[in-house]
């Protein structure tokens, strides 16, 4: 129940153990088509260029930025946590000119502040936002920014590593031009691939580059030839990971995206009710809290690592610690994909309640679980 990787369904583990075939085997080519179709379903897009990048979520981030940015390009980036900061760092390494629109960790970046930063520049190549800031639990509004940028030349790049298949994400309806995710968060597949989708506007920007993409491995002009009709060898596709992703996406499809979004919200609400009953508070900005990543303020006098160790040793249960300015100040409880279950909500509340009582906090025995159970009953 940390910030990822989440638990993996047995069907996905079984898919990983299937015999290998070649990366140009007709059966594998069929599987690639199936994966692309399922990714379009999950991203809610008709984009032709919709593929998994052969590496973890950070490679999806890097692929978007190295393919779309060129030296000197101005790029506006929402910076309110670790992943916005990572985008800034990659943009700098592309020798682009990033402009950070900052907000305190835990808060969203106001869409009006983003649009004001864009309006202040003569030409902005792209705007980047992190839809689900996993380092803080903030749920970034994105729709309004996409609508404002749609009629302009500016590209809209969205990090959906944690949001894909966990909360509503509408690549086409929100005019997102480049979007990437990861397999290990709400898709509940092991870490190793990064689903990515490019709109026609993004593909046109890619084709219009003045210079070749500075990364050979992540160069989409070559990778799209393997995933497109040419099937030209670029690098050997990670066969087993693609089996696993296909199976994880089939599970998403069987459950249905809307049902999956509702499940994540239901279990977040139950967890929140339980935490509140024992005096714990969610740390992210009210009204903008992610259901799949719950950052919880650590009560005064309680040691972060001591409690997390107790949970791991006594309950075999992992939760995350804080990053950056939130280190030692919050716990991060993941309810992602397969991990988002009523049993896990009740387990983490039981464990936390007992750990806090043992460390001298005045907590009503059973209060957290009763409140969470009542919330589950009412839903
Ligand atoms: C996890 C995560 C990443 C990075 O993914 P890796 O799989 O760790 O490379 C990027 N952005 C966000 C929002 C994430 O949660």
Asked if 146 contacts 174 with a C-beta cutoff of 8 angstroms, the reply is yes
pLDDT at residue number 357: 96
Cβ(58) to ligand 1 under 6 A? yes
In sequence order, what are the residues at sequence separation of 6 or more whose Cβ sits closer than 8 angstroms to the Cβ of residue 350? 368, 369
pTM of the model: 0.98
Strand partners of residue 330? 297
Q: What is the DSSP letter of 286?
A: T
In a domain, 112, yes or no: yes
Pairwise CA distance, residues 195 & 295, whole Å: 26
The CATH code of the domain that includes 281 is 3.90.1150.10
Per-residue pLDDT tens listing for the chain (379 residues): 999 999 999 999 999 999 999 999 999 999 999 999 999 999 999 999 999 999 999 999 999 999 999 999 999 999 999 999 999 999 999 999 999 999 999 999 999 999 999 999 999 999 999 999 999 999 999 999 999 999 999 999 999 999 999 999 999 999 999 999 999 999 999 999 999 999 999 999 999 999 999 999 999 999 999 999 899 999 999 999 999 999 999 999 999 999 999 999 999 999 999 999 999 999 999 999 999 999 999 999 999 999 999 999 999 999 999 999 999 999 999 999 999 999 999 999 999 999 999 999 999 999 999 999 999 998 8
- Asked if 250 and 265 sit in the same domain, the reply is no
What is the tally of structural domains in the chain?
2
pLDDT at residue number 379: 81
Asked if 94 contacts 71 with a C-beta cutoff of 8 angstroms, the reply is yes
Q: Which domain holds residue 45?
A: 10-255
Asked if 307 contacts 360 with a C-beta cutoff of 8 angstroms, the reply is no
Cβ(56) to ligand 1 under 6 A? yes
In a domain, 164, yes or no: yes
Specify the pairing of strand 132-133 against strand 293-297.
unpaired
- Asked if 310 and 240 sit in the same domain, the reply is no
Residue to probe by mutation, ligand 1, list 52, 61, 83, most atoms within 8 Å of CB: 83
For the record, the structure tokens of 31 come out as 């599987």
In a domain, 2, yes or no: no
- Asked if 155 and 250 sit in the same domain, the reply is yes
Pairwise CA distance, residues 75 & 258, whole Å: 33
Taking the centre of ligand 1 as the mean of its atom positions, its distance from the CA of residue 131, in whole angstroms, is 11
In a domain, 268, yes or no: yes
pLDDT at residue number 252: 98
Indicate the residue among 236, 255, 274 that finishes a domain.
255
Place of tokens 């070649």: 22
- Asked if 251 and 357 sit in the same domain, the reply is no
pLDDT at residue number 111: 98
CA atoms within 13 A of residue 317's CA, in its CB half-sphere: 25
Taking the centre of ligand 1 as the mean of its atom positions, its distance from the CA of residue 202, in whole angstroms, is 22
In a domain, 1, yes or no: no
Pairwise CA distance, residues 131 & 92, whole Å: 21
The CATH code of the domain that includes 206 is 3.40.640.10
Cβ(161) to ligand 1 under 6 A? yes
Taking the centre of ligand 1 as the mean of its atom positions, its distance from the CA of residue 182, in whole angstroms, is 7
In a domain, 5, yes or no: no
- Asked if 76 and 221 sit in the same domain, the reply is yes
């Amino acid at each position: 129940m940390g910030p990822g990787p989440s638990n993996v369904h047995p069907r996905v583990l079984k898919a990983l153990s299937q015999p290998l075939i070649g990366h140009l085997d007709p059966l594998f080519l069929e599987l690639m088509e199936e994966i692309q179709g399922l990714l379009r379903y999950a991203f809610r897009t008709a984009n032709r260029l919709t593929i998994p990048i052969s590496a973890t979520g950070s490679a999806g981030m890097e692929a978007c930025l190295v393919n779309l940015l060129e030296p000197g390009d101005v790029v506006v980036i929402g910076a309110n946590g670790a992943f916005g900061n990572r985008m800034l760092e990659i943009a700098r390494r592309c020798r682009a000119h990033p402009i950070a629109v900052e907000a305190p960790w835990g808060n969203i970046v106001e869409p009006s502040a983003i649009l004001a930063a864009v309006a202040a520049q003569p030409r902005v190549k792209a705007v980047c936002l992190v839809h689900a800031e996993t380092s803080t639990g903030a749920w970034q509004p994105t729709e309004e920014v996409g609508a404002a940028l749609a009629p302009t030349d500016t590209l809209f790049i969205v990090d959906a590593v944690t949001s894909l298949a966990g909360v509503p994400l509408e690549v086409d309806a929100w005019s997102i031009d480049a979007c990437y995710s990861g397999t290990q968060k709400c898709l509940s597949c092991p870490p190793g691939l990064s689903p990515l989708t490019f709109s026609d506007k993004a593909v046109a920007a890619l084709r219009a580059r003045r210079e070749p993409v500075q990364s050979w491995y992540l160069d989409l002009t070559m990778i799209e030839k393997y995933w497109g009709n040419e099937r030209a060898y670029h690098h050997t596709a990670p066969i087993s990971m693609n089996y696993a992703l296909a199976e994880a996406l089939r599970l998403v499809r069987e459950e249905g995206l809307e049902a999956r979004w509702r499940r994540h919200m239901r279990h977040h609400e139950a967890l929140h009710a339980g935490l509140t009953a024992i005096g714990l508070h969610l740390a992210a900005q009210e009204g903008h809290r992610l259901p799949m990543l719950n950052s919880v303020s650590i009560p005064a006098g309680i040691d972060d690592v001591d409690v997390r160790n107790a949970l791991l040793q006594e309950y075999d249960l992992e939760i995350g610690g804080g990053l950056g300015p939130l280190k030692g100040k919050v716990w991060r409880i993941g309810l992602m994909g397969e991990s988002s279950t009523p049993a896990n909500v009740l387990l983490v509340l039981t464990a936390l309640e007992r750990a806090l009582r043992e460390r001298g906090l005045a907590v009503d025995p059973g209060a957290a679980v009763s409140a969470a159970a009542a919330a589950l009953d009412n839903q």
